[in-house]
């Protein structure tokens, strides 16, 4: 599900707000005891194969599921360059559920999808964390916290919205911290490293069908 942009935080009871983790957005595709982490471009993150195995092992009773989440530092911090060059231990934060054991959850509300995700984790005694930094209705305070702790920003999500793939229909909005320090030199870093040794998410991948 793509993110649209808003320029300023807001407070609204029909919305939830989450910290924006500056890692690698990924889908965790789990099927019959195996898992694969897929990038936004539909490529498997081959460099995170070990993490995918850990996700599958933490959900032993699950036949099939697709989780939307973020690959971040295990501490929950967005140490992007350290994560990029594998200087920290990666962890997968799951914050949404697309499908589970034959049921398509994408037409359900965000609230229902999150409740099912938490139930799924409890049932399986999963160690895969749900993004815990979520608040109902108050985006302004969370955004202030993100700025004070030098995080990228927050994401606002409409509680009753379905999971969609069309940007114009998306009810997820990113609100960015303009003073975020790790954004400096980001594009230059990517362009430089794309022409060197394989970097996570750029060269170590093969094409797979893109999910709806």
Q: For the segment 83-117, what is each residue's pLDDT rounded down to a tens digit?
A: 777 778 888 989 999 999 999 999 999 999 999 99
Q: Rounded to 5 degrees, what angle do the CA atoms 143, 76, 2 make?
A: 60
Mean pLDDT of the chain: 82
Write out the two tokens for 146. Answer: 């993100």
Distance CA 63, CA 141 (A): 39
What's the pTM value of the predicted model, to 2 decimals? Answer: 0.82
Residue 211's pLDDT band (boundaries 50, 70, 90)? very low
- Ranked by mean pLDDT, the top range of 107-111, 146-150, 196-200 is 107-111
pLDDT of residue 60: 82
Half-sphere CA count of 100, side-chain side, radius 13 A: 23
Pick among 1.10.8.60, 3.30.70.360, 3.30.470.30, 2.30.110.10: CATH of 4-193: 3.30.470.30
Top pLDDT among 128 and 101 is at 101
Q: To the nearest whole percent, how much of the chain has pLDDT over 70?
A: 78
- The mean pLDDT value for 160-185 works out to 90
Top pLDDT among 60 and 176 is at 176
Q: Is 6 exposed, middle or buried (0-12, 13-18, 19+ CB in 10 A)?
A: middle
Domain ranges of the chain: 4-193
Distance CA 141, CA 13 (A): 14
Indicate the DSSP class of residue 7. Answer: S
Q: Is 28 exposed, middle or buried (0-12, 13-18, 19+ CB in 10 A)?
A: buried
pLDDT of residue 78: 60
Contact 102, 66 (CB under 8 A): no
């Amino acid at each position: 599900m793509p993110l649209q942009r808003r320029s300023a935080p807001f407070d609204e009871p029909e919305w939830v707000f989450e910290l924006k983790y500056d890692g690698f957005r990924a889908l965790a595709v789990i099927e019959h005891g195996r898992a694969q982490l897929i990038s936004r471009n539909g490529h498997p993150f081959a460099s995170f194969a070990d993490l995918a195995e850990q996700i599958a092992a933490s959900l032993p009773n699950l036949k099939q599921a697709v989780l939307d989440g973020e690959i971040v530092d295990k501490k929950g911090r967005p140490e992007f360059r350290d994560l990029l060059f594998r200087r920290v231990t990666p962890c997968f934060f799951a914050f949404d559920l697309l499908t589970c054991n034959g049921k398509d959850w994408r037409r359900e509300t965000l609230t229902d999808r999150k409740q099912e995700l938490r139930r799924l984790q409890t049932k399986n005694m999963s160690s895969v964390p749900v993004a815990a930094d979520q608040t109902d209705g108050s985006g302004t305070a969370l955004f202030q916290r993100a700025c004070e702790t030098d995080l990228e920003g927050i994401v606002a999500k409409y509680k009753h919205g379905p999971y969609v793939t069309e940007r114009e229909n998306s009810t997820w909005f990113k609100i960015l911290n303009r003073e975020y320090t790790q954004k400096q030199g980001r594009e230059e870093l990517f362009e430089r490293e794309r022409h060197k040794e394989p970097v996570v998410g750029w060269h170590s991948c093969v094409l797979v069908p893109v999910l709806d």
